[in-house]
Structure 1
Amino acid sequence: MAHVPVLSSRPMRGFTWRAKQRHRPGLEVMASTGRMHGFESLEELRLLVALDFLKASEVLSQPFRLDFEHTGGQAWHIPDFLAVIDGGMWLLDVRPMELIKEEDALKFAAAREVAAACGWRYSVIAGWRPHVWSVLDHLSSRRRPARDLLSRYDEMCMSAYG
């Protein structure tokens, strides 16, 4: 698998949304890659923001499906992201700590083994310290200059100061 061109792959699932669904998918623009990247939850969105600050040169959402066997039978898992950071590859899964079940831990262990066999690093993002996310969120809101789409900036400044 280390020799497969995974950086040219497409996501294993589409990022769709509908009324009354429980998760919050969407697309996030990353300045470091210059593209939009799909996410399935707010936790995955937070990871994309952090990867942008780490200047990830490439990020793939749901890069491949991993089929594996274990003592209880067969299973499959789709990791959340594959990222290139400082030339190194990171395979990443996102799951809040309180939602990790026994079968998830088994899937994460299989993903860790595949990553190690490919010479990649692997992490499960299980949460953020509150101050870390609040700082990243604040800095992220100021990454790009705001555009005056309605040409109202001068008018607002005059009413505020004049």
Structure 2
Amino acid sequence: MVPCKVCNKEFENNKGLSYHISQVHNIKFCDYLVEHELNGVWPLCSCGCGEKVNFFGGKFAKHIGSHGVIGLKRTAETRRKISEIQRGRKLAEEHKNKIGAGVRLRLDADQTIVKKISQKLTGKNKSEQHCKNISETRKKLIDAGEIVINRDKISAAITQRYLDGGFEWSTGQYTSSKTGATCNYRSSWEAELMELLDRDPRVEMWHYEPLTIPYIHEGKTRRYIPDFLVVLDGQDVLVEVKPPSLTDTEMNALKRQAAMEFCDKNGWRYLVWSPENGMNFGA
């Protein structure tokens, strides 16, 4: 016998209980089960996507739609047959978009899948055509608003990675005899200046990528990391290592302006350095 947990009346099976619940107590049977059998929690899809399952036939489903086959391994023969059926099949753009949206939803819900895909692709070389296809697809998604680029977040992440010395294009390490610090220099020019700063007795102290300076570009706040802070003859000099040909680009001009304003406020000097300068830091 199955008792009603609202009025304690008993029934032979859930079918009779369901009818009683809906007719006498005016409660949907699914809501009754959630409240009295499942501690008030509606069941979620067993695949881990976090979505609520449907209720039909007097019970809750285990999965949403085809989520029950996620992770199941198909035999080589089954994969071959599926491939043959799909080969050459053209899908409507709307159908493609639905498939893409479903895949993205699935990946967003379960980051373990994303990690597994990333691990599997690590170290594999992509063809030029493959890279082009990825780029074109990404551009379309950005234009459609399906991928939102958080430029502020990216800028902050890049800034921190710079400060941590974590970019792969660092060409080497230099340990200063003057400061004792080990720096990941990113060009031969930076390495050359580090050696000059250590040798020059006028330099009391120097720091590599010492701080960040905010500036505005296209209405967004960006972050500029000067290359060096040099204490020379008792004065602080902020130094950027850059060839003259690159100093007047729009982005670099904005960085330079922000750095000069920062230096003016703090009583420092700002210098754009290249090897021909040597240790001539000006007045």
TM-score range, shorter chain: 0.5 to 0.7
Instruction: Identify the structure with the greater helix proportion.
Output: 2
Tell me the residue number matched to 1:46: 192
For residue 257 of structure 2, the aligned residue among 109, 120, 125 is 109
Is the Cα contact below 8 Å between 2:207 and 2:230 reproduced in 1? Answer: yes
Q: Is 1:84 paired with 2:239?
A: no
Take 1:29 and 1:42, find their aligned partners in 2: how far apart are those partners?
15
Take 1:80 and 1:24, find their aligned partners in 2: how far apart are those partners?
13
Aligned pair in 2 of structure 1 residues 87, 123: CA closer, same or farther (>3 Å)? same
Aligned pair in 2 of structure 1 residues 65, 35: CA closer, same or farther (>3 Å)? closer
Take 2:276 and 2:231, find their aligned partners in 1: how far apart are those partners?
24
* Long gaps (5+) in structure 2: 1-159
Q: How does the TM-score come out when normalised to structure 2?
A: 0.36
Is the Cα contact below 8 Å between 1:91 and 1:123 reproduced in 2? Answer: yes
Aligned length: 117
Fraction of identical pairs, as percent: 30
Take 1:114 and 1:36, find their aligned partners in 2: how far apart are those partners?
26
For residue 29 of structure 1, the aligned residue among 175, 187, 192 is 175
Take 2:183 and 2:165, find their aligned partners in 1: how far apart are those partners?
10
Is the Cα contact below 8 Å between 1:24 and 1:42 reproduced in 2? Answer: no
Take 2:181 and 2:164, find their aligned partners in 1: how far apart are those partners?
16
- After TM superposition, the structure 1 = structure 2 runs for residues 13-162 of structure 1, keeping only pairs within 5 Å, are 13-16=163-166, 18=168, 23-55=169-201, 56-69=203-216, 72-74=218-220, 75-100=222-247, 101-125=249-273, 127-129=274-276
RMSD: 2.8
Take 1:63 and 1:13, find their aligned partners in 2: how far apart are those partners?
8
Give deviations 1:12-54, integer Å, cap 9, x for gaps: 5222454xxxx44332122222333332211111111121122
Paired residue secondary structure (1:57):
strand
| Cα deviation, residue 94, structure 1 | 0.9
* Largest Rg, 1 or 2: 2
**Aligned residue identity for 2:176:** M
Paired residue secondary structure (1:89):
strand
Aligned pair in 2 of structure 1 residues 24, 35: CA closer, same or farther (>3 Å)? closer
Instruction: Identify the structure with the greater strand proportion.
Output: 1
Between 1 and 2, higher relative CO (CA 8 Å, sep ≥ 6) is seen in: 1
**Aligned residue identity for 1:29:** T
Take 1:17 and 1:68, find their aligned partners in 2: how far apart are those partners?
22
Take 1:86 and 1:122, find their aligned partners in 2: how far apart are those partners?
15
Aligned pair in 2 of structure 1 residues 64, 11: CA closer, same or farther (>3 Å)? farther
